[in-house]
């Protein structure tokens, strides 16, 4: 399949500028207010709150409990979510992580890319989820690891995964996007709204320490983590792994951003030409942000990542807290190895105190 940029647009790409892209000439507070307002306008329903029903509670083998919820969103759809609660949460409110699963072109698994499905109905996909964590996560369920570190962990199926899997896989993303646009929605906005609504529900739980609420994820999940921090002030710190680049740098063959399909989950039509990806993430500055991308990740050209990191540094510098930003390339492909997971967990713990 041809994934080259149309010749007409290729002529425009080298000089591509964003009308609201951050530059040092901007007054930071004014720029951030304008960027956040634009971003929030692109996500109908971001200010709503999910409604949840608890459907199951069992003990975890390593302590604490696992809860299963059904989350209902304002647009009428619902998702299954798993919450891991450490033993330490029984005595006082605990820090919490809203954890986001990746895309990866695999739709049968959702939250079970991050949390072990053992003992749940999702165990029928345990071979696939086990293979997934071997491939991308060093053979460890990231969510279970974070819970063992003392975090309450919540992960839900995004629209198109797990119990919400698209029947026709990759091509179904194209169809979903076309259908949603008839109603004035798009997949990126629908997912962002669900994430924000889930956060508002999570904030209200008595066992959650709202001063220590964080977001984390890998790949598409990393994008969702920094996106949520940009939209919602309740996120105190973020670990976004395996997703950052400039928009122009991603508009090349091999990245997937020119084919449609999965790209629709990351493209907000009203932000095109106005905010670059690092500008979008920078709308959440200067709260603590940890970001890692593999130095030979085929999805994110190295130079586009380096350029995006420089833009992020300029934004956090202008916001007055450059020390809150930790962005680096690591030696690896498009994956989330144990060492990076552990660095991310340590960063979040340090950031929330």
Quickly state the pLDDT bin for 12 (edges 50, 70, 90): confident
CA dist., res. 192 & res. 197, Å (int) = 9
Q: What is the pLDDT of residue 287?
A: 98
Residue-by-residue DSSP string for 24-48: TTS-HHHHHHHHHHHHHHTSTTTT-
Higher pLDDT, 12 or 128: 128
| pLDDT tens-place string over residues 213-253 | 999 999 999 999 999 999 999 999 999 999 999 999 998 88
| pLDDT tens-place string over residues 263-272 | 999 999 999 9
Domain 7-352 has CATH 3.40.50.1820: yes
Q: What is the pLDDT of residue 26?
A: 96
**Domain range annotation of the chain:** 7-352
Is residue 312 over pLDDT 80? yes
Higher pLDDT, 258 or 247: 247
Asked whether 193 and 75 are in contact (CB, 8 A), the reply is yes
| pLDDT tens-place string over residues 56-106 | 999 998 899 999 999 999 999 999 999 999 988 877 899 999 999 999 988
Quickly state the pLDDT bin for 127 (edges 50, 70, 90): very high
| pLDDT tens-place string over residues 319-344 | 999 999 999 999 999 999 999 999 99
Q: What is the pLDDT of residue 168?
A: 85
Share of the chain above pLDDT 70, in %: 100
Quickly state the pLDDT bin for 9 (edges 50, 70, 90): confident
CA dist., res. 193 & res. 42, Å (int) = 10
Strand partners, 82: 68, 155
| pLDDT tens-place string over residues 29-64 | 999 999 999 999 999 999 999 999 999 999 998 899
Q: What is the pLDDT of residue 242?
A: 98
Residue range 122-140: average pLDDT?
Answer: 95
Residue-by-residue DSSP string for 254-307: TSSTTSSGGGGGT--GGGTTT--HHHHHHTTTTS-EEEEEETT-TTS-HHHHHH
Please give the mean pLDDT across all residues of the chain.
Answer: 95
Q: What is the pLDDT of residue 256?
A: 86
Highest mean pLDDT of the ranges 1-5, 165-169, 173-177, 277-281: 277-281
CA dist., res. 164 & res. 156, Å (int) = 10
CA dist., res. 262 & res. 306, Å (int) = 23
pTM: 0.96
DSSP 165: B
Q: What is the pLDDT of residue 79?
A: 98
| pLDDT tens-place string over residues 181-195 | 999 999 999 999 999
Give the closest residue to 256 by CA, choosing from 148, 114, 105, 120.
105
CA dist., res. 200 & res. 70, Å (int) = 15
């Amino acid at each position: 399949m041809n994934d080259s940029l149309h010749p007409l647009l290729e002529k425009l790409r080298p000089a591509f500028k964003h009308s609201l892209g951050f530059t040092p000439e901007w007054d930071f507070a004014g720029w951030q207010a304008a960027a956040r307002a634009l971003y929030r306008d692109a996500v109908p329903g971001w200010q709503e709150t999910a409604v949840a029903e608890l459907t199951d509670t069992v003990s975890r083998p390593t302590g604490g409990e696992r809860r299963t919820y059904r989350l209902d969103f304002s647009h009428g759809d619902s998702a299954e979510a798993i919450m891991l609660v450490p033993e330490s949460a029984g005595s006082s409110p605990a820090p919490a992580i809203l954890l986001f699963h990746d895309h990866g072109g695999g739709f049968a698994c959702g939250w079970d890319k991050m949390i072990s499905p053992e003992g749940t109905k999702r165990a029928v996909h345990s071979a696939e989820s086990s293979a997934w964590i071997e491939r991308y996560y060093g053979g460890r369920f990231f969510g279970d690891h974070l819970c063992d570190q003392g975090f309450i962990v919540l992960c839900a199926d995004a629209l198109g995964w797990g119990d919400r899997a698209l029947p026709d896989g990759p091509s179904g993303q194209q169809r979903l996007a076309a259908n949603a646009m008839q109603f004035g929605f798009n997949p990126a906005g629908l997912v962002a709204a669900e994430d924000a609504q889930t956060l508002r529900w999570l904030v209200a739980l008595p066992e959650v320490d709202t001063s220590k609420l964080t977001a984390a994820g890998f790949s598409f999940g990393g994008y969702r983590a920094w996106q949520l921090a940009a939209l919602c002030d309740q996120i105190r710190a973020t670990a976004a792994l395996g997703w950052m680049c400039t928009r122009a740098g991603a508009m090349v063959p091999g990245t997937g951003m020119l084919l449609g399909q999965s790209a629709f989950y990351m493209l907000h039509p009203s932000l095109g030409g106005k905010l670059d990806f690092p500008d979008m993430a920078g709308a959440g500055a200067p709260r603590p942000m940890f970001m890692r991308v593999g130095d030979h990740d085929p999805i994110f050209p190295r130079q586009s990542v380096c350029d995006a990191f420089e833009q992020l540094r300029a934004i956090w510098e202008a916001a007055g807290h450059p020390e809150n930003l930790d962005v680096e390339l690591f030696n690896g492909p498009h994956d989330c190895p144990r060492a990076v997971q552990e660095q991310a967990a340590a960063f979040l713990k340090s950031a929330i105190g």
